[in-house]
């Protein structure tokens, strides 16, 4: 088999864990597999590098931001290749550029364009193990780019697709996907199999197990995914195509505290205003989540939307520049909110499920600020102060606890 293994930052955060990971990789090759490895930066290295850069310059050039952050993964690849060498394995560390990973020109949020697999395959054909830096690639002009936080998952899936791998194994600090985050819900159910669509909804709305873009890529190219614990053998979760069920069913719950709401108040109710509000955000490729427009008196509207917390500062700057262009009365934000979502099958087709969600949230005393939905998900924005109580109550209501 051709197997791509990806190891997250917590899996390789110490030399001891790095050696254990090397032993797991070595064992897989000894079983006759052709193994390619993608690795993240050690522990909180990326946070450290970001903080260091902002101490020197609070507004660094995007090029230098990517040049700085990409070094974390390069350290990991060199250490892991060295650990494999100590175990008698031949391994080669590769930066994104050396691995032939091409992206577009967007720094910090680059999108993958293609992977030239020749270098990786030639290394594997020689019986060596390529250890590839996740999270990074090279732009058309030869600049280092990064894919955004969690981008190593996306690198791994892309490499698996390029190699036509039999399996992409994502190793992390949990033994698979659970019906809810144990930090918010006690004793949630373990999920043995889950569909790409359900996993995409979970990843998009707070679940930290997998990077959203990695699951979207896996679904598009039918890459089989398995999520496992890096250091404990036992449970695992397979993410794959599944038969569509007709019966509405809540399968999981996700929580996201890393959100912020921005409100553009008092904008004229006329064609083209919404486009102007989001034009500069689109140029910077800032991901948006919920968007709500509410009508007020004198033909003026408020437009509210949510972004990830780490995008708040940049988005606010853009909105304050845009305020005059759209004739808005005010721009303000709220970073005291959190999002809770239920995910499953045909949820929107069941008014009973929707009622039960809203009624359960109300029973905790939490007020719902915003609502969004898809066929397989309903999300509510509520105060952070209520999030643990709401998550636990919803998990009990929808039988997501062992």
Choosing from 333, 366, 383, the residue where a domain stops is 333
**How would you class 161 by CB atoms within 10 Å of its CB: exposed for 0-12, middle for 13-18, buried for 19 or more?**
buried
Choosing from 110, 145, 173, the residue where a domain stops is 173
Q: What is the pLDDT of residues 16-39, one digit of tens each?
A: 999 999 999 999 999 999 999 999
pLDDT value of position 245:
55
Q: What is the pLDDT of residues 172-189, one digit of tens each?
A: 999 999 999 999 999 999
Q: Are residues 281 and 166 in the same domain?
A: no
Q: Are residues 43 and 157 in the same domain?
A: yes
pLDDT value of position 169:
98
pLDDT value of position 323:
94
Could you tell me which of 324, 191, 340 has the C-alpha nearest to residue 268? Answer: 324
Q: Are residues 324 and 348 in the same domain?
A: no
Q: What is the pLDDT of residues 294-310, one digit of tens each?
A: 877 778 999 999 999 99
Please, what is the average pLDDT of the chain? 94
Residues 306-326 have a mean pLDDT of 94
pTM recorded for the entire structure: 0.86
pLDDT value of position 246:
55
pLDDT value of position 242:
75
Residues 253-272 have a mean pLDDT of 94
CB 36 within 8 A of CB 114: no
pLDDT value of position 374:
87
pLDDT band at 278 (very low <50, low <70, confident <90, very high): very high
Residues 340-345 have a mean pLDDT of 93
Phi, psi dihedrals of residue 329, rounded to the nearest 5°: -80, -30
Residues 269-289 have a mean pLDDT of 92
pLDDT band at 243 (very low <50, low <70, confident <90, very high): low
Share of the chain above pLDDT 70, in %: 99
pLDDT value of position 398:
96
pLDDT value of position 146:
97
Q: What is the pLDDT of residues 38-51, one digit of tens each?
A: 999 999 999 999 99
Is residue 169 assigned to a domain?
A: yes
Q: Which domain holds residue 356?
A: 251-256+337-397
pLDDT band at 244 (very low <50, low <70, confident <90, very high): low
Q: Which helix (H) or strand (E) holds 236?
A: strand 236-240
pLDDT value of position 313:
93
Residues 265-285 have a mean pLDDT of 92
The answer to whether residue 329 scores a pLDDT higher than 90 is yes
Is residue 192 assigned to a domain?
A: no
pLDDT value of position 234:
86
Locate tokens 């397979």: which residue? Answer: 238
| Strand 167-172 with 225-229, pairing | parallel
Counting every residue, how long is the chain? 402
Number of domains in the chain: 3
Distance CA 383, CA 386 (A): 6
Q: Are residues 122 and 80 in the same domain?
A: yes
pLDDT band at 165 (very low <50, low <70, confident <90, very high): very high
Q: Are residues 17 and 85 in the same domain?
A: yes
The answer to whether residue 94 scores a pLDDT higher than 70 is yes
Q: Domain holding 76: CATH number?
A: 3.40.1160.10
Is residue 391 assigned to a domain?
A: yes
Strand partners, 371: 380
Is residue 162 assigned to a domain?
A: yes
The answer to whether residue 378 scores a pLDDT higher than 60 is yes
pLDDT value of position 120:
97
Distance CA 276, CA 325 (A): 8
Is residue 246 assigned to a domain?
A: no
The answer to whether residue 285 scores a pLDDT higher than 60 is yes
Distance CA 229, CA 5 (A): 12
């Amino acid at each position: 088999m051709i197997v791509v293994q990806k190891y997250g930052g917590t899996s390789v955060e110490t030399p001891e864990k790095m050696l254990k990971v090397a032993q797991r990789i070595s064992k897989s090759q000894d079983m006759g597999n052709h193994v390619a490895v993608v690795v993240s930066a050690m522990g909180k290295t990326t946070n450290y590098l970001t903080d260091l850069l902002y101490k020197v310059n609070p507004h660094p050039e995007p090029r230098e931001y990517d040049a700085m952050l990409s070094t974390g993964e390069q350290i990991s690849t060199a250490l892991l290749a060295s650990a494999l060498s100590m175990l008698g394995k031949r391994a080669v560390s590769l930066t994104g550029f050396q691995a032939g990973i091409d992206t577009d020109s967007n720094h910090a949020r680059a999108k993958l364009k293609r992977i030239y697999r020749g270098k990786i395959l030639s290394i594997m054909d020689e019986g060596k193990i390529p250890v590839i830096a996740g999270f990074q690639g090279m732009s058309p002009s030869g600049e280092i780019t990064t894919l955004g936080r969690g981008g190593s998952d996306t690198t791994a899936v892309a490499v698996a697709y390029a190699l036509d791998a039999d399996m992409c194994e994502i190793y992390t600090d949990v033994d698979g996907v659970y019906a809810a985050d144990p930090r918010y819900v006690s004793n949630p159910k373990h999920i043995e199999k889950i569909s790409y669509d359900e996993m995409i909804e979970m990843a998009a709305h707070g679940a930290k197990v997998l990077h959203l873009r990695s699951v979207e890529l896996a679904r598009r190219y039918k890459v089989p995914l398995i999520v496992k614990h890096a250091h404990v053998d036992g449970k695992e979760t397979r993410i794959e195509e599944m038969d569509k069920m007709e019966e509405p069913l809540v399968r999981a719950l996700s929580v996201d505290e890393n959100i912020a709401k921005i409100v553009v108040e008092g904008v004229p109710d006329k064609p083209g205003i919404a486009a102007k509000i989001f034009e500069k955000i689109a140029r910077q490729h800032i991901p948006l989540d919920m968007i709500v427009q509410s009508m007020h008196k004198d033909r003026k509207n408020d437009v509210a939307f949510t972004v990830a917390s780490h995008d708040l500062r940049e988005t606010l700057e853009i909105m304050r520049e845009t305020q005059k262009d759209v004739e808005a009365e005010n721009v303000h934000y709220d970073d005291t909110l959190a999002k809770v979502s239920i995910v499953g099958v045909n949820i929107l087709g069941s008014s009973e499920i929707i009622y039960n969600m809203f009624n359960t949230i109300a029973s905790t005393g939490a007020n719902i600020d915003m609502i969004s939905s898809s066929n397989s998900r309903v999300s509510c924005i509520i105060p952070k102060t209520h999030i643990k109580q709401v998550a636990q109550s919803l998990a009990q209501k929808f039988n997501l606890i062992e």
